[in-house]
């Protein structure tokens, strides 16, 4: 009997143990699954091209559509290539061959053109998003120095070409394009665009001793030159001031303005800050993306009006050259850096210029006037319509680079289209038609942060 009771106690103890284990297992919490946070921005489905100007010259509409084709058709579209998305610096209209060298500035203009193609229904949104994203992947994988890119690259390999510099201004043009498509598409494109921007070390490219940005950098020789007076670099001050990672404050902007020269007003134009050569692109580039018409700086100065006055001066200057050069007159104006009969000439420009360094030989680029369409639309369109009367100035991608009617008996017409020249033309046309690029770009928080850091304020 004692044995039976002893065994029953053991059996009860075992049962109690089993029951306790069952209770414990039943009460055990479900395993905790880590929460995965997706930081990818939402897809942007906003339609921007909703209020488009009507009754516009067919020449202008043809130029923007054909010009878009330059950037879309000629880009490296081989997804297996390390140069995917790169866009040639030039296209020869005689041979039909694009150059083998890409310009990162041309890529920046081409990226910015993608929203135009999508909302004009020349390409699908899916095609545009794929091109934009994979181009940004290429940019992420290219050679970079403190976040900046080399100016010229091999179209196929993406490697540095021509011993070119690590360029702050061309990198700025490139990142403007990246930020534009990033905001336009949202999602993975925006995420990668913002990452590329935040990796740019603006403070590295800045000389604290002089309070100026350097102009170029080559690993073989280091930094060279300074952005020391007003030119196309307004965008650099905004981009640098808005950086959450490597910002540069307003001192550089303030010093630039203080050290720049103003032309006095005349009966033909108002006072304006001049650039060294008076090349019109210097009054245009930053205005492609930043809506300076809606902002003034701390002193109330409008850089948009500055460009309006500079364009007026360029038109007035052209009228003074008519007696000397057959191809320069009130409907053929806007001298600016471009190809001439003897090759590329950077100082082509109009007076007055800060360095009195403008070169005039009768050569007129199409983009000088067309890229000024937001500043003086009537005059720009009249010039474009005049240019269209010359069949030798037209091509599969719209206007060629430049012409010079004073050269030889029949005049000289460029063989090439230069990517940055075509870029300024079509993007400014779009801003004239709809303001779309301004609307997209001004939604990028870094840009409004940069303007605020520089003490710019919106005008009513």
Phi and psi at residue 322, to the nearest 5°: -60, -40
Cα separation, 228 vs 350, whole angstroms = 20
| pLDDT at residue number 324 | 98
Query: CA 198, 201, 203: angle at the middle one, nearest 5?
Result: 130
Chain centroid offset of residue 405 CA: 32
**Positive or negative torsion for Cα 355, 361, 362, 363:** negative
| pLDDT at residue number 460 | 82
Phi and psi at residue 101, to the nearest 5°: -110, 130
Cα separation, 397 vs 399, whole angstroms = 7
| pLDDT at residue number 38 | 67
Phi and psi at residue 281, to the nearest 5°: -60, -30
CB pairs under 8 A, 24+ apart, for 126-129? Answer: 128/181, 128/185, 129/185, 129/187, 129/189
Q: How many residues does the chain have?
A: 460
Phi and psi at residue 441, to the nearest 5°: -65, -35
Burial zone of 217 (CB within 10 Å; 0-12 exposed, 13-18 middle, 19+ buried): buried
Task: List the beta bridge partners of residue 344.
Answer: 339
**Domains of the chain and any CATH numbers:** 52-458 (1.50.10.140)
Helix H or strand E encompassing 379: helix 377-387
**Ramachandran assignment for 439, one of left (phi > 0), alpha (psi -120 to 50 degrees), beta (any other):** alpha
| pLDDT tens sequence for the chain (460 residues) | 344 334 444 444 444 444 444 343 444 445 555 555 568 999 999 999 999 999 999 999 999 999 999 999 999 999 999 999 999 999 999 999 999 999 999 999 999 999 999 999 999 999 999 999 999 999 999 999 999 999 999 999 999 999 999 999 999 999 999 999 999 999 999 999 999 999 999 999 999 999 999 999 999 999 999 999 999 999 999 999 999 999 999 999 999 999 999 999 999 999 999 999 999 999 999 999 999 999 999 999 999 999 999 999 999 999 999 999 999 999 999 999 999 999 999 999 999 999 999 999 999 999 999 999 999 999 999 999 999 999 999 999 999 999 999 998 999 999 999 999 999 999 999 999 999 999 999 999 999 999 999 999 999 8
Task: List the beta bridge partners of residue 216.
Answer: 167, 224
Sequence-ordered list of residues with C-beta below 8 angstroms from that of 331, at least 6 positions apart, any chain: 382, 383, 385, 386
Cα separation, 68 vs 131, whole angstroms = 14
Span between the terminal Cα atoms of the chain, in Å: 104
- Please tell me whether residue 93 adopts helix, strand or coil conformation: coil
- Please tell me whether residue 413 adopts helix, strand or coil conformation: strand
Neighbours of 358 (CB within 10 A): 23
Q: pTM for this one? A: 0.92
């Amino acid at each position: 009997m004692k044995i039976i009771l002893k065994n029953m106690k053991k059996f009860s103890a075992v049962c109690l143990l089993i029951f306790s284990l069952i209770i414990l297992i039943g009460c055990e919490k479900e395993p905790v699954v880590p929460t995965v946070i997706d930081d990818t921005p939402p897809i942007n489905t906003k339609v921007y091209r909703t209020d488009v100007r009507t009754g516009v010259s067919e020449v202008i509409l043809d130029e923007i559509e054909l010009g878009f084709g330059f950037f879309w058709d000629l880009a490296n579209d081989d997804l297996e290539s390390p140069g995917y998305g790169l866009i040639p610096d030039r296209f020869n209209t005689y041979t039909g061959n694009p150059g083998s060298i890409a310009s990162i500035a041309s890529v920046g203009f081409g990226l910015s053109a993608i929203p135009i193609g999508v909302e004009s229904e020349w390409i699908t949104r899916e095609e545009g998003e794929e091109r934009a994203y994979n181009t940004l992947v290429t940019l992420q994988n290219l050679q970079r120095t403190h976040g900046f890119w080399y100016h010229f690259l091999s179209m196929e390999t993406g490697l540095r070409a021509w011993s070119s510099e690590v360029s702050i201004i061309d990198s700025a043009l490139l990142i403007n394009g990246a930020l534009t498509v990033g905001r336009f598409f949202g999602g993975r494109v925006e995420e990668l665009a913002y990452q590329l921007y935040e990796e740019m070390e603006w403070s590295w490219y800045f000389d604290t001793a002089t309070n100026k940005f350097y102009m170029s950098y080559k690993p073989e020789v280091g930094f060279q030159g300074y952005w020391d007076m007003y030119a196309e670099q307004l965008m650099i001050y905004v981009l640098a001031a808005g950086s959450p990672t490597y910002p540069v404050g307003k001192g550089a902007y303030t010093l630039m303005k203080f050290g720049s020269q103003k032309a006095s007003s005349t009966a033909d134009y108002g006072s304006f800050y001049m650039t060294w050569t008076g090349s019109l692109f210097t009054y245009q580039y930053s205005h492609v993306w930043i809506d300076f018409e809606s902002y003034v700086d701390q002193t109330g100065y409008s850089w948009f009006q500055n460009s309006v006055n500079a364009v007026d001066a360029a038109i007035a200057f052209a009228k003074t050259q008519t007696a000397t050069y057959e191809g320069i007159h009130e409907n053929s104006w806007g001298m600016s850096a471009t190809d001439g009969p003897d090759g590329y000439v950077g100082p082509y420009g109009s007076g007055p210029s800060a360095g009195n360094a403008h070169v005039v030989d009768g050569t007129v680029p199409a983009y000088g006037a067309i890229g000024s369409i937001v500043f003086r639309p009537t005059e720009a369109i009249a010039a474009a319509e005049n240019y269209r009367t010359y069949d030798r100035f037209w091509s599969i991608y719209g206007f060629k680079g430049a012409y010079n009617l004073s050269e030889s008996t029949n005049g000289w017409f460029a063989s090439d289209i230069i990517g940055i020249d075509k870029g300024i033309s079509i993007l400014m046309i779009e801003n004239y038609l709809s303001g779309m690029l301004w609307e997209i770009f001004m939604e990028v928080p870094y840009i409004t942060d940069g303007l605020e850091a520089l003490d710019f304020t919106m005008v009513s």
